[in-house]
Amino acid sequence: MRFTHTGEQADFARTLEKLLAGADTVAAARAWAEGDSAPGLGLWHTLAEQGVHALLVPEEFDGMGATPVELVIAMEAIGRHAVPGPYVESAAFLSQVLTGEQLSGLAAGTVATVAVPPHTPYALDGDVAEEAYLVDGESLSTAGVGEVRTSIDPSRRLVSVTAAEAVGELERAKLRNAFDLAALATAAQLLGAGERILADSVTYVKQRKQFGREIGSYQAIKHQLADVRIALDFVRPLVDGAAVAPTSRDCSAAKVAAADAAYRASRVGLQVHGAIGYTAEFDLSLWLLKVRALVSAWGTPAFHRARVLESLVSR
């Protein structure tokens, strides 16, 4: 099966890429990690004007009524540029479970986040969000935010939440669909981050010289980067296929493959950059930490592998 974007989807991807490439997303991510949310919120509202937060919101609630394909396009761009903020929580998960004015607010750019234990026990960026929610079983409630927890990725601020006012009960199928889309959106972010690490690594090995030669001319380096290229190329059809017809099995398969490929990209990227890849001051570290955090976000690889296995053996 061959996946191609429509003209409108390709234009949407180019617009986001141009917008984010022209914004200083690295500075925004670093500021977000240090507690200065202003640059990141500026990006949030700029992307809201492009309709990113409204993609899956129905038109009757001021949304775009788009499909998960457009969501995946947006999330890959966000991952590629390390944009901070609870985009998966808002645009993917909450767009499927909120209703009425809360849903319209989401489409307009309200900064909202959610905790969905056990897989997402903390509300991402809950200390910045205007609205926080908690899903307990099949119950949805607003949430009060508490302590900011230590995160492996400082630009992903994890916050404890407690239930406040009940919003309503969620149908099991609706809750499962929202979780699947959140996992798929996370897979798309991993794909974008992996692509960025590979691109930066290829650029670096063409510049860095050792023994009078660019290190990228050595077979050992070429082979490792080629393996990353192949791994990411295998992920893309899984992500695109799951976006066309989202099922729990396909979304989980996309999440597992994207996590494996992005983590491989991180390891190779770190190695070819040498010791400099470890330093927090070097921009590569932003993507290395983000990939490590996203691998376990919205379900660990073990959980999603078990889901795929269960689906296959029950057929």
Domain ranges within the chain, ordered by starting residue: 175-314
pLDDT tens-digit series, residues 235-244:
999 999 999 9
What pLDDT, on the 0 to 100 scale, is given for residue 276? 84
Helix axes 7-22, 38-49, angle to 10 degrees: 160
Amino acid 277: pLDDT:
77
Count of Cβ atoms closer than 10 Å to residue 62 Cβ: 14
Q: What are phi and psi of 117, to 5 degrees?
A: -65, 150
Closest to 71 in 3D by CA, of 199, 244, 206, 227:
244
pLDDT tens-digit map of 281-299? 999 999 999 999 999 999 9
| CATH superfamily entry for domain 175-314 | Butyryl-CoA Dehydrogenase, subunit A, domain 3 (1.20.140.10)
Burial of 220 (0-12, 13-18, 19+ CB in 10 A): exposed
Name the E strands within the chain: 112-115, 123-124, 131-136, 139-149, 158-169, 209-210, 213-214
Segments of the chain scoring below 50 in pLDDT: none
Beta bridge partners of 162: 144
CA–CA gap between residue 27 and residue 40 (Å, rounded): 9
pLDDT at site 4: 83
pLDDT of res. 243: 96
